[in-house]
Copies of this chain bind each other. A is one copy, B any other.
Amino acid sequence: MSSWVDGDPADTLSVKDRGLAYGDGLFETIAVRSGRPTLFERHLQRLELGCQRLGMAFERERIVDESLRFAGQMGDGVMKLILTRGDGLRGYAPPADAQARRILQAGPIPAYPPVNEQHGVRLFPCQTRLAQQPRLAGLKHLNRLEQVLARGEWQDNEHAEGLLCDTDERVIEGVYSNLFLVKDGGLLTADLSRCGVAGVMRAELLHQARELKLVTDIRDLALSDLAAADEVFLCNSVYGIWPVIGYGQLSWPVGPLTRKLQGIARALLDI
């Protein structure tokens, strides 16, 4: 699989990079279809917001130009775009004039079992809790040890995803997906102002739901909300939507709104 660093083909980067030293950076995982990145504008928006909140320069034109050229040679695949604060001097202090380092990596579209999308998935009950850090909440930054620990909790094939709660037992998201509940014909998803990753597909589905005049509610969710939901689904910007059919003793049907939004997500991803 090919990769570029700062616009040039390279499969290595400096050991002084602050992305390695501190996780000082951000990333996006972007589905590419026929050489074109999907949901690209939303990925760029999240990246720009992340740069603002981390105090990093965001060179939109350069990032867009490199990403489009890189994707153009990929055909179908997943493009990972990492921005780091570049090489570090010793110490945590962020350099005042740091230009973000751009890293692009190409990989195949993951071969998820088609059953996930067609018949739905069961969620593993992760014991790992998400810590609450409002300054980093919502960002797709490079500090992802919580996800590594959570994903390490199960090895079976019975669970395609795990459910993550925060340290106050609020229901937040999947390990690599956002979670939606359908209740009385409207959409519910977790408030991500304390922790969690504000997914690009989540943002797009909220937008699409409003276009469809559906009620959308972003708020704190408890396990009781999950139990009371009519339908439950996961989403991300690579696979689209997977219905959730079980979590512990709870179960849900694959419902009509999930199917409708699944079609929209597939269209958005050119699947």
User: Measuring CB to CB, which residues of chain A are less than 8 angstroms from any residue of chain B?
Assistant: 3, 5, 10-24, 27, 54-55, 78, 80, 82, 84-85, 90-94, 96, 103, 105, 107, 110, 128-129, 131-133, 135-136, 141-152, 155, 167, 175-176, 195
CA distance A19 to B23 in the complex (A): 8
* Pair A5/B15 contact, Cβ less than 8 Å: yes
* Pair B91/A22 contact, Cβ less than 8 Å: no
Q: Which residues of chain B are within 8 angstroms of A96 by Cβ–Cβ distance?
A: 155
CA distance A3 to B149 in the complex (A): 29
A24 smallest CB distance to B (angstroms): 5
CA distance A85 to B190 in the complex (A): 31
* Pair A142/B22 contact, Cβ less than 8 Å: yes
Given A23-B142, A143-B143, 19 new contacts (CB under 8 A): A12-B12, A12-B13, A13-B20, A22-B23, A22-B145, A22-B147, A23-B23, A23-B144, A85-B148, A91-B110, A91-B176, A92-B144, A92-B176, A94-B152, A129-B133, A131-B132, A135-B146, A136-B146, A143-B145
Given contacts A20-B142, A23-B145, A146-B133, contact A103 B15 (CB under 8 A): yes
* Pair A92/B131 contact, Cβ less than 8 Å: no
Can you show 27 pairs from A to B with CB atoms below 8 A apart?
A11-B14, A11-B15, A19-B20, A20-B20, A20-B84, A21-B144, A22-B23, A22-B148, A23-B142, A23-B145, A54-B145, A78-B90, A90-B107, A90-B110, A91-B176, A92-B151, A92-B176, A93-B151, A94-B148, A129-B135, A131-B132, A131-B136, A131-B195, A133-B146, A135-B146, A136-B149, A143-B143
